[in-house]
């Protein structure tokens, strides 16, 4: 029997795949006659870093989405709309990624970094809303309360720490980006390891 959320997961997988693919389009091919090719390629190093980081971030969001839906067994109209809100955030990632790559190291890098962190702040809010709604209404009977509470606690730190990233960007953009990367690593960890790291 097909799982009730199978179509939601299949559609979501497609959106994640498209969003992660669009990231590469921001790395431009140097034009013929625009100067030394190796120099032109090296000049795009912020775009390469932004591509790799955002590829990893979208991949981690996809992993977390998959983890959540192993616990969510039923669907309804509200879940459909909340999942679409989350996918809206995911689709937006290529834009702030390109903006950050283009303006990193420039006078307006702070604005680009704030936009970048702000996007992940909004996505973290959407993840929390989706999970908390599903936790109240749509989980399978095999999900124990302790596991559900740990998932809720893990996601609750996201919005707060992304706000810290935004505040840090006013002071030091590279440090704010390092915290963003650390957050991605934290969310990539399985639940038991994430709590072990947090406990340390």
- The DSSP result for the chain, as a single string, is ---TTHHHHHHHHHHHHHHHHHGGGGSPPPPTTSS-HHHHHHTTHHHHHHHHHHHHHHHHHHHHHHHHHHHB----HHHHHHHHHHHHHHHHTHHHHHHHHHHTTSTTHHHHHHHHHHHHHHHHHHHHHHHHHHHHHTB-TT--HHHHHHHHHHHHHHHHHHHHHHHHHHH-HHHHHHHHHHHHHHHHS-HHHHHHHHH-
CB distance 23 to 58 below 8 Å: yes
CB distance 92 to 119 below 8 Å: yes
- Domain encompassing residue 25: 6-199
Residue 1 lies in a domain: no
CB distance 134 to 79 below 8 Å: yes
CB distance 125 to 87 below 8 Å: no
Residue 110 lies in a domain: yes
Give residue 176's pLDDT: 95
CB distance 54 to 24 below 8 Å: no
Backbone φ, ψ for residue 135 (5° rounding): -60, -35
Number of other residues whose CB lies within 10 A of the CB of residue 122: 17
Residue 21 lies in a domain: yes
Give residue 1's pLDDT: 42
Task: Say how far apart CA 19 and CA 95 lie, in whole Å.
Answer: 10
Residue 188 lies in a domain: yes
Give residue 192's pLDDT: 60
How many independent structural domains does the chain possess?
1
What angle do the packed helices 6-22 and 77-92 form, to 10 degrees? 10
Residue 42 lies in a domain: yes
Segments in the chain below pLDDT 70 = 1-2, 140-143, 192-200
CA angle (67, 13, 178) in 5-degree steps:
65
Tens of pLDDT, residues 153-183: 989 999 999 999 999 999 999 999 999 999 9
Give residue 194's pLDDT: 58
């Amino acid at each position: 029997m097909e799982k009730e959320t199978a179509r939601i997961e299949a559609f979501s997988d497609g959106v994640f795949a498209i969003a992660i693919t669009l990231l590469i389009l921001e790395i431009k091919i140097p034009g013929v006659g625009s100067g030394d090719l190796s120099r032109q390629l090296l000049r795009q190093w912020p775009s390469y870093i932004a591509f790799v980081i955002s590829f990893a971030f979208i991949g981690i969001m996809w992993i977390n989405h998959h983890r959540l839906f192993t616990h969510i067994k039923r669907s309804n109209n509200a879940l459909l709309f909340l999942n679409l809100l989350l996918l809206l955030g995911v689709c937006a990632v290529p834009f702030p990624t390109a903006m950050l790559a283009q303006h990193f190291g420039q006078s307006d890098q702070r604005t680009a970094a704030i936009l970048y962190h702000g996007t992940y702040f909004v996505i973290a809010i959407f993840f929390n809303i989706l999970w908390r709604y599903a936790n109240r209404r749509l989980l399978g009977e095999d999900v124990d309360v302790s596991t559900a509470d740990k998932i809720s606690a893990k996601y609750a730190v996201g919005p707060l720490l992304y706000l810290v990233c935004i505040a840090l960007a006013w002071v030091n953009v590279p440090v704010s980006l390092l915290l963003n990367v650390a957050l991605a690593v934290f969310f990539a960890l399985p639940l038991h390891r994430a709590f072990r790291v947090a406990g340390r």
